[in-house]
A and B are shown apart, each in its own frame.
Chain A
Amino acid sequence: MSCDSPQPRLKNLPPGHSDQTALLETEARYLHGCFFGNSAPDDVINRYVTANILCCPAPGSLTDTIVARRLDAEAVELFLRWRNKDSRILTKKIRIIFYLVEVRSEYYPAFFGKAVHNETRFRAALGLLSALPQTAWKYLKGAYLVHTNRLSENGPV
């Protein structure tokens, strides 16, 4: 398979999409950093921009606020996701990041672990159980951030 993927192309991009580009690029870097720490590859950033124009054509003021105020995107997303089970813009944007990085080999360990690595069952069970307090903490943090920043799905109230 080719490593050099040409720039993604789409039919019928809406007019004015280039205005959003800078915002979306900043968003991509921030959201990527929230989950993967390191800087996002240029391909991921470019593809994120195009994918957002396709999947999330309405500008996301909630995400703009999260990026501008350097808020914990994961915490806010969890709180909003639990509060309303319908698909939401922030969840969608984060999903896009995950789709785009999953197909890159450098992220393989994040999704699948090391190729032949087996954790002991005890360690794995501990890891699974830690999801509960970790999620509880994120939920509470998300509730706090949403409340103190007066956030909603449509941005700050």
Chain B
Amino acid sequence: MAPFDAIVVGAGPAGVMAARSLAGKRVLILDVGRQPDSLPDLAGDLYSLRQSQPDLFDLLIGKDFDSLHNLHNEPLSLKLKAPLMRYIVDDARSLAPVRSQNFNATMSFAAGGLANAWGAGVYRFTARDLEGFPVGKPELEPFYDELTEHMGVSGANDDLTPSFGNDPALQPPIELSRFASDLQTGYQRKRALFARLGVSIGRTRLAVLTRPHRGRPPYNYGNFEFFRPHDPSVYNPVYTLRELIRAGHVRYEPQHLVLRFAQSADDVTVTTRNLQTGAHEVFESRTLILAAGALNSAKLVLESNNDHETRLPLLDNPMTCLPLFRPNRIGQALDTYDSSLGQLILIHEFQGTVLQGSVYGTAGPLRSDILFELPFSITANLAWLRRTAAATGLLMMFYPADPHPDNYLQLATDGALELRYGQPVTKGPARGVGEKALIPALRKIGFYTAAALCQYPPMGSGIHYAGTLPMREKPGRYELYPDGRLHGSQNIYVVDGACFPRLPAKNLTLTIMANAMRIASRLRHRIL
């Protein structure tokens, strides 16, 4: 068989968008491609279901007690442990063993990758965010526009427009919970106060539909995000993958774990392990595009170079979690029409650094997941949760991340990835400092919290892995040219978060996709 024009490794956001941009070429996507079991057809919202159905054990806990995972295993994100969500990370550690110090790594071998459980936040990088990148905003802008149209993005051009860009194609934003609505109203009343602090608050931009778009329905506020994947109103790269397969634009081969590649002057050979047969298989292509995620793309490069010595940089956004309390809402019934998606965004320009926070409600996870986070007796905790259901939210802040020699990834001789993370490194303020500065202003609009309540999730919890094979104007070994090509290679490209030389405090998925499209679009014209 003639070699393919391009092999894409991975079918997450980067891989799928790269493949889409290569339409017209002979493209093979190699993927492990885990899929969910058959999904129940759930009408209405989760809370109505919880009242009307006598027993939701199968959906919420699972026959294998999946939701109890964190009681006897290393903790998983609450969004990844429900029975129907487990396919997203199941087998990841056996397919890609990891040994880590101070870094909670989450990986996915599902079709669609970790976007099967993402919060769908999509934020354009500004010129300031792209400082240190060998790519400018004008180069990414057309692809941001294309993605907005392709996925459908809801939000608003508001006080956050300077941070996210003006986007005339936005659908109306999702409806706010009462809690979030109070916060927005309070901010608008005290806008000048917040401006003096360098704070702007506005609507989230989400790859979530509020109007029908390209055959997908609008969001129905069902609150199933923690328990059921593939809500058609929430964009998932799997939808694009299916379109590409149906249109015959790609050949998709799931059940293949890519082990290594080897390049010659004219082509690349890729060796996989067929997970059904156990056999090794070899595929040939003129070009190889790595989109296996920052950790696994780096692993493939090191493995293919038989390199167990080199340490590659590792980045993730440090994050904090600050509960917010709105006394005016105590005693009110849970806002069951609430969405567990991000409600509002807070941009905080602080000590020369831009921090980004998202405000969430607490309607998403099981109550038993958070019952023991409170310090009282169990009965009192339960009563607190009941009475404060409509009065509590969470502010999750991201900090920027820059490379540091203490934060790295290395390939061990037994094939495991070793991840080491020292101190979370940011050129700006340390975690918690920005939040402290916010507390007085929040109090003035009726939202209360305390610095002592700020939680610091372990590094890796942000799941914004990046920087392992960074783009540079003048790359060295294991770095990329601005066109995504791996230094020292003729025909190997990297399009996922590995590319990013640093991380601003902003969800990066939209820029990963736009950059993948940029790289693949240029490549398409070079493949004759």
Contacts and interface: CB of A to CB of B under 8 A. Distances in A.
A, B in one complex:
yes
B333 A116 contact: yes
A95 B55 contact: no
A121 B388 CA distance: 11
Contact of B389 (A9, A94, A112, A130): A112
Given A111-B386, A113-B334, A51 B68 contact: yes
B145 to A, nearest CB: 41
B332 A118 contact: yes
A6 B55 CA distance: 11
B251 interface: no
Contacts of A5: 55, 57-58
A10 B375 CA distance: 33
A131 B67 contact: no
A124 B366 CA distance: 22
A117 B330 CA distance: 12
A11 interface: yes
Secondary structure of the B side of the interface? helix
Contact of A111 (B72, B328, B380, B382): B382
A98 B371 contact: yes
Given A112-B386, A131-B380, A118 B57 contact: no
A99 B42 CA distance: 21
B47 A94 contact: no
B14 to A, nearest CB: 34
A150 interface: no
Contacts of A3: 53-55
A55 B72 contact: yes
B446 to A, nearest CB: 13
A54 interface: yes
Q: Count chain B CB atoms within 10 A of each CB in A5, A75, A131 and give the residue with the most.
A: A131
A1 B58 contact: yes
A123 B72 CA distance: 38
Nearest to B50: A108
A110 interface: yes
Given A3-B54, A55-B72, A104-B55, A125 B61 contact: no
B437 to A, nearest CB: 27
A11 B331 contact: no
Contacts, number: 171
A143 to B, nearest CB: 13
B452 interface: no
B71 A43 contact: no
Interface string B368-411: 10011001111111111111110000000000000000000000
A139 B383 CA distance: 17
Interface in B38-64: 40, 42, 47, 49-61, 63-64
A133 to B, nearest CB: 10
A54 B68 CA distance: 9
A113 B389 CA distance: 9
Interface in B335-383: 336, 366-368, 371-372, 375-383
Given A113-B333, A118-B331, A121-B331, A96 B71 contact: yes
Contacts of A2: 58
B65 interface: yes
Nearest to A97: B368
A103 B389 contact: no
Nearest to A10: B64
A100 interface: yes
A47 B366 CA distance: 17
A144 interface: no
A157 interface: no
Contacts of A120: 331
Contact of A54 (B72, B333, B367, B375): B72
Given A94-B378, A131-B380, A132-B376, 17 more contacts: A1-B53, A6-B63, A9-B63, A81-B372, A87-B71, A102-B368, A103-B57, A103-B61, A105-B50, A105-B51, A105-B54, A106-B54, A112-B334, A112-B386, A118-B331, A125-B331, A135-B380
Closest 4 CB pairs of A and B: A124-B331, A119-B331, A131-B380, A138-B377
28 contacts: A1-B53, A1-B56, A1-B59, A8-B57, A8-B65, A11-B64, A47-B57, A51-B65, A55-B68, A75-B377, A95-B372, A98-B368, A99-B68, A99-B366, A103-B59, A105-B53, A105-B54, A115-B51, A115-B336, A117-B333, A119-B387, A124-B330, A124-B331, A124-B387, A125-B327, A130-B380, A131-B376, A135-B380
Interface of A: 1-3, 5-6, 8-11, 35, 43, 47, 50-51, 54-56, 74-75, 77-78, 81-82, 87, 91-92, 94-96, 98-100, 102-106, 108, 110-121, 123-125, 127-128, 130-132, 134-135, 138-139
